[in-house]
Amino acid sequence: MSAVFGLETEYGVAAPPGAAGPAGSASAAGGADLARAEAAARELFRPVVAWGRSTNVFTPAGARLYLDVGSHPEYATPECSTIEELLAAERAGDRLMAVLAEAAGRRAGAPVALLKNNTDSAGHAFGCHENYQVDRAGSAEVAAKLIPFLVTRQLLVGAGKVQVDPKGVRYLLSQRALHTAEALSSATTRSRPIINTRDEPHGDGRRHRRLHVIVGDSNMAGAAARLKVASMVLLLRAAAGGGQLPDLELAHPVQALRQVAQSWPAAQGRGAHPIALADGRTIDPVTVQWRFFAAAEAAAASPSETAALDLWRRTLTAWDRLDFDGLETELDWLAKWRLIERYRQRTGAALADPRVLRLELAYHQLDAQGGLRQKLEAGGHLADVIGHRQAAAAVTQPPPTTRAHLRGRFVAAARAAGREYTVDWVRLKLGQAPAVALLDPLDSADPAAEALIAGLEGAAAAAESAPTNEFDQIMAEAGRE
Amino acid sequence: MEQVRRTDLPPRDRDDEPAPAPPAAPQSRTQLIDDLLDEIDEVLEDSAEAFVKGFVQKGGQ
């Protein structure tokens, strides 16, 4: 039983004072910082625009690179149908963005920092959105039943955050918990929901719709990223197969989300943080997760899914026993907390010390100059679950099991042949010819698309080799093991 | 208020589960973190406040 899913990650960009940016374009200091960040994001995208003549392009991997509202560089993975494909595609996006940031820094003469987190120092939030294709029939009920799961899964896959505000200083489990205002809604930027209900199927809308989860944190730890997506895939598969998802309607989902975010440190013991159910009872958030774990357990069908279930079970057991040792190589909130705690032991720094906040950002930093992940993985402090070879290959190679296989090859072939083309998630269009529509995301061998690609590949072989520009070189660099 | 009971939960301590990879010894893990912190110490001491305050974005979605 196959389903299609993908991730959209918005990255943060920081440029130090004196770096690329219009001097004196804003009066307030925050305005100058913002102007610098926006200038850095545009600089980062300059090779992309030169390559695709747009700030919205699809790569030969079938992925979308996009300069989003607020000038967040965004990478949307191609459609994937296995967890392995998705993890490689997500990591490929990190690699591509990091090399783009490094190249922007070289051109500007000052480093451009690339961050994969979800909040800035001024309290703005940006996202890591998950997309899952679901059957249209019953999709509203499934979405509603998943809310308690999504509210409590930060116990496992939250990225952690040092929160400094008038209420005090504390370590939250989730980056986005304080930035989520509704359970289900079609809004995105003004009132962020847990699940966005905007109906964009990007396919056959009569049969399917897209379940668009926007409450999640961006993950640095591969094991956490795997668990975040695999747990959803397993629950949706169980529901589609006639299984029952737990019926645990929460009285106040957003309030519960914020409560659960404040479960750490967990010294108070099990049952110390009950959340309210709509029927008047209360429930422990860890119990909520055990219920969903039980619903998902039988659905695992691949080694990655089994590994994700294993981490799910070990993490819930750790919450039951309040003994988290060993999980710091797999969970972001814990890995970062242990790093911060060690730093504070060594220096005596308070949790709100600027050096601690800088260390927190370094955990999420991806550029080679400031990022810690490569070192953490090389030293075994973060488990490396993806494999560098797969991640490197996914920079330019689409997943073979979905229509991204056609889109990516079409882009590569049209460019090699020097032809004008336009693509989106559904359509492939060559020059003024009628577009080929790919309505089934799981169709990786549509005959009309294959014929189109074969024609282009023939033309490309006869043509002189297409000129490569800076973005081609950046993709090649990001795709090196 | 009534608490929801954990009667229908799966067993958690079965012997037949695959064992997770053995974690590195606590001592070496701490050493590793210390080495890493030594490496970025300069970054943390020098420009921390400017970097943190300067990290301002527009809100995304």
In tens, the pLDDT along A219-242 reads 999 999 999 999 999 999 999 998
Provide the pLDDT for residue B30: 82
Domain end among A325, A341, A369: A325
- The total domain count for chain A is 2
Q: Which of A44, A194, A355, A377 to mutate to test the interface with B (most CBs of B within 10 A)?
A: A355
Over residues A147-154, mean pLDDT: 98
Rounded-to-integer distance, Cα A341 and Cα A333, Å: 12
- Which residues in chain A are contacts of B53 at CB distance < 8 A? 29, 33, 121
Identify whether residues A321 and A408 lie together within a single domain: no
The 10s digit of each residue's pLDDT in A39-62 is: 999 999 999 999 999 999 999 999
Residues A310, A416 within the same domain: no
Tell me if A302 is assigned to some domain. yes
- Residue A95 belongs to a domain: no
pLDDT confidence of residue A199: 83
* Neighbour count for residue A374 (Cβ, 10 Å): 14
Is the Cα torsion angle A156, A127, A362, B53 positive or negative in sign? negative
A347-384 confidence digits (pLDDT tens)? 999 999 999 999 999 999 999 888 899 999 988 899 99
pLDDT band at A267 (very low <50, low <70, confident <90, very high): low
What is the value of ipTM here, to two decimals?
0.87
From CA A80, how far away is CA A226, in angstroms rounded? 13
Name residues whose C-beta falls within 8 Å of residue A209's C-beta, 6 or more positions apart in sequence. A133, A134, A136, A139, A199, A201
- Residue A157 in any domain: the answer is yes
Q: How confident is the model at residue A123 (pLDDT cuts 50, 70, 90)?
A: confident
- How far the first Cα of chain B sits from its last, in Å, is 38
What distance in Å separates the CA atoms of residue A221 and residue A469, rounded to the nearest whole number?
33
Picking from A275, A308, A325, the residue at the C-terminal end of a domain is A325
Contact yes or no for B19/A311 (Cβ under 8 A): no
Residues 312-331 of A with CB under 8 A from B: 313-314, 316-317, 320, 325-326, 329
Is the domain of A243 the same as that of A137? yes
Is residue A48 one of the residues assigned to a domain? no
* Nearest C-alpha in B relative to A114: B55
Active-site hit among A68, A204, A440, A472: A68
pLDDT at B48: 92
Same domain for A310 and A186:
yes
For residue A421, give the DSSP letter: E
β-sheet bridge partners, residue A163? A170
Chain B residues interacting with chain A (CB cutoff of 8 angstroms):
1-4, 6, 8-10, 12-13, 17-18, 20-21, 23-24, 26, 29-30, 32-37, 39-40, 43-45, 47-61
Torsion sign, CA atoms A201, A205, A208, A211: positive
Farthest-apart Cα atoms in chain B, separation = 54
- Is A446 labeled as catalytic in the residue annotation? no
Confidence of residue B3 (pLDDT cuts 50, 70, 90): low
- The interface residues of chain A toward chain B in range 125-164, judged by CB-CB distance below 8 A, are 125-127, 129
Q: What pLDDT was estimated at residue B61? A: 57
| Contact between chains at B53 and A127 (C-beta distance less than 8 A) | no
Q: How many CB atoms lie within 10 A of CB A258?
A: 15
Tell me if A462 is assigned to some domain.
Answer: yes
- Do A455 and A321 lie in one domain? The reply is no
pLDDT in tens, A417-472: 999 999 999 999 999 999 999 999 999 999 999 999 999 999 888 877 777 899 99
- Chains A–B, number of C-beta pairs less than 8 Å apart: 180
A357 neighbourhood in chain B, CB within 8 Å: 48, 52
If pLDDT is split at 50, 70 and 90, which confidence band does A265 have?
confident
pLDDT digits (tens, 9 = 90+) for A18-39: 544 444 444 455 688 888 889 9
A442 and A319 fall within a common domain: no
| Tens-place pLDDT, residues A245-258 | 999 999 999 999 99
Do the Cβ atoms of A120 and B51 come within 8 Å?
no
Which of A389, A402, A388 shows the shortest CA–CA distance to A78?
A: A402
Cβ neighbors of A308 (< 8 A, separation 6 or more) are: A83, A226, A227, A230, A231, A234, A300
Based on the fold, state whether residues A408 and A320 are members of the same structural domain: no
- Summarised one tens digit per residue, pLDDT across range A65-88 is 999 766 789 999 999 999 999 999
Tokens 């998950």 belong to A130
Looking at residue A212, what is its pLDDT?
A: 95
Question: Of all residues in chain A, what percent carry a pLDDT higher than 90?
Answer: 77
Check whether A335 has a pLDDT greater than 90: yes
Residue A459: count other Cβ atoms within 10 Å of its Cβ.
15
DSSP assignment string, A172-222? ES-SSGGG--EEEES--SSS-EEEE-----SS-TTTEEEEEE--PPP--SH
Tally of CB atoms within 10 A around A465: 8
Question: Choosing among A25, A112, A358, which should be mutated to test the B contact, i.e. which has the most B CBs within 10 A?
Answer: A358
In A243-282, the residues whose Cβ lies within 8 Å of chain B are 248, 271, 274, 277, 280-282
Task: Tell whether A349 is covered by a domain.
Answer: no
Give the pLDDT confidence score for residue B18 in this predicted structure: 47
Interface of A with B in 186-245 (CB under 8 A): 188-189, 192, 214
Question: Does residue A59 belong to any structural domain of this protein?
Answer: no
Q: What is the mean pLDDT of chain A?
A: 92
Rg (CA), chain B: 23
Distance from C-alpha of A41 to C-alpha of A434, rounded to nearest angstrom: 35
The DSSP bridge partners found for residue A75 are A9, A65
Asked if the model's pLDDT at residue B13 lies above 60, the reply is no
Residue A55, Cβ density class (10 Å: 0-12 exposed, 13-18 middle, ≥19 buried): middle
Q: How far apart are CA A59 and CA A203, in angstroms?
A: 20
Cis peptide before A265 (omega within 30 of 0): yes
Which residues on chain A are in Cβ contact (under 8 Å) with B25? none
Any residues with CB less than 8 A from the CB of A458 and at least 6 apart, and which?
none
| Beta-carbon separation of B55 and A12 below 8 A | yes
State whether A458 and A311 are in the same domain. Answer: no
Same domain, A408 and A317: no
- Find which of B14, B49, B57 to mutate to test the A interface (most A CBs within 10 Å of its CB): B57
Is the pTM higher than 0.90? yes
Range of the domain at A276: 129-325
Q: Does residue A314 sit in the same domain as residue A458?
A: no
In this structure, is residue A457 part of a structural domain?
yes
Q: How confident is the model at residue A189 (pLDDT cuts 50, 70, 90)?
A: low
Domain boundary among A295, A325, A355: A325
Cα-Cα-Cα-Cα dihedral sign, residues A71, A200, A436, A92: positive
* Residue A298 clears pLDDT 80, i.e. is over it: yes
User: Is it the case that residue A305 has pLDDT exceeding 80?
Assistant: yes
Q: Is the domain of A218 the same as that of A318?
A: yes
